[in-house]
Amino acid sequence: MHDRDRSGHPQGHSRSAAVDEGTGRVLGARQIAAEDAGHLAAVRWAVELDDERVWALEDCRHASGRLEAALIAAGERVVRVPPRMMGASRRAERTPGKSDEIDALAVARAVVRDGVDRFSAAFLDEQAMEIRLLSDHRQDLVAERTRAQNRLRWHLVAVCPELERTLKRGGLESARSLDRVDRKLKRLPAGARVRVARDEVAQIRSLTKRIDALQHNLGALATTHRPELLAETGCGPLTAAILIGRTAGTEHYHSDASFARQAGVAPIPASSGQRNQLRLDRGGDRQLNRALHMIAITRARHDPVTKEYLARKEAEGKTKKGALRCLKRHLARRFHHLLRLPPRSEPSLDKPATTKLLFT
């Protein structure tokens, strides 16, 4: 079964379609109310259709998280479908246009085409989801601070260009630099631009305090949840938080290859004629990709074993980028193994039963 969740829709509903896993034939469709009673009614409807089933949800957890949690709590098997796969499936549909029902069938047929076992299974991991929410919130605050810093620099160019020229890149994150800017602004003639600039200084200070507090919290949560990640060279608290949060509920990838594909570090063929070569995948989860990239860069600079690995790959004829790509694929294998380990104080999951009916 595939479900196209619309919990944020004014009507508070989602559209679900049931298809046969073997043939892709549509067996039924239903609108699901975005409430506990609606979720329970959907499960009862699914049970009446077949005893063995799986729910395929488009991986948009900001919208489908409530339905996903309800299905898992009811003992249902749930897999997540990346949105990019659904787009290709939708374009192959005979019915043109876009609607919740068309989207539901597109998700279902994407799973039927590739097979249920190729998609990551969802399960409840509330602590990992909390880490993701805090990590995403911190990134939003960092982005807002960057905008405030850019606005402040723009005002400083107008009122005190010589001061702006002395500020290094990232200098406005330092409390000492902000104090120096604020003291200079206080000595300037009062005016609207100076007032706005001082407001920007106050906002940057406030955002920095909140960002630092979140970083401390994330470090503590990551240490408690998965300390084995922090034991890896190059994986600091923020990087560990990204790895935990972006795989929240999807630790049980079927292989390291599927994890590497999700992280965008699995090479893809880019051959032409007699020239055979691979290139880096530009798809996948870019946050996961960034986390593995930062670990790779750090290890390449400070880890002797990694330096030897990269030198060996370059000696085999690979470019620096090609060697780094191999390293990131190797790291995906390593961190896939670590993320498959049961989180602290949580039991491992049993292997799900064979599925006959697919719900979306």
Assigned domain for 232 exists: no
Structural domain ending residue among the three candidates 168, 199, 225 = 225
Structural domain of residue 72, as residue ranges? 2-118
Cα torsion through 337, 343, 346, 348, rounded to 10: -10
Quick check: 184 pLDDT over 70?
Answer: yes
Q: In this predicted model, what pLDDT tens digit does every residue of 306-335 receive, in sequence order? A: 999 999 999 998 889 889 999 999 999 999
Average pLDDT over residues 226-237: 94
Note whether 14 and 34 are within 8 A (CB).
yes
Q: In this predicted model, what pLDDT tens digit does every residue of 1-48 receive, in sequence order? A: 544 443 344 445 677 777 777 666 777 777 777 777 777 888 888 787
The candidate with the shortest Cα–Cα distance to 53, out of 99, 123, 111, is 111
The whole-model pTM stands at 0.71
Predicted confidence band of residue 110 (pLDDT cuts 50, 70, 90)? confident
Read off φ and ψ for residue 228, nearest 5 degrees: -65, -25
Same-domain pairing of 131 and 113: no
Read off φ and ψ for residue 278, nearest 5 degrees: -120, 160
Assigned domain for 323 exists: yes
The candidate with the shortest Cα–Cα distance to 4, out of 74, 64, 68, 94, is 64
Distance of CA 142 to the CA centre of its chain: 17
Average pLDDT over residues 238-253: 80
Assigned domain for 357 exists: no
Assigned domain for 159 exists: yes
Same-domain pairing of 63 and 151: no
Assigned domain for 55 exists: yes
Distance CA 356, CA 54 (A): 8
Distance CA 100, CA 83 (A): 14
Same-domain pairing of 213 and 256: no
Assigned domain for 349 exists: no
Distance CA 105, CA 247 (A): 25
Assigned domain for 91 exists: yes
Same-domain pairing of 213 and 270: no
Note whether 66 and 7 are within 8 A (CB).
yes
Number of domains in the chain: 3
Structural domain ending residue among the three candidates 192, 225, 258 = 225
Same-domain pairing of 70 and 163: no
- Residue 23: give its domain's CATH number: 3.30.420.10
Q: In this predicted model, what pLDDT tens digit does every residue of 249-288 receive, in sequence order? A: 555 577 888 888 888 888 877 777 777 777 777 777 889 9
Structural domain ending residue among the three candidates 193, 225, 257 = 225
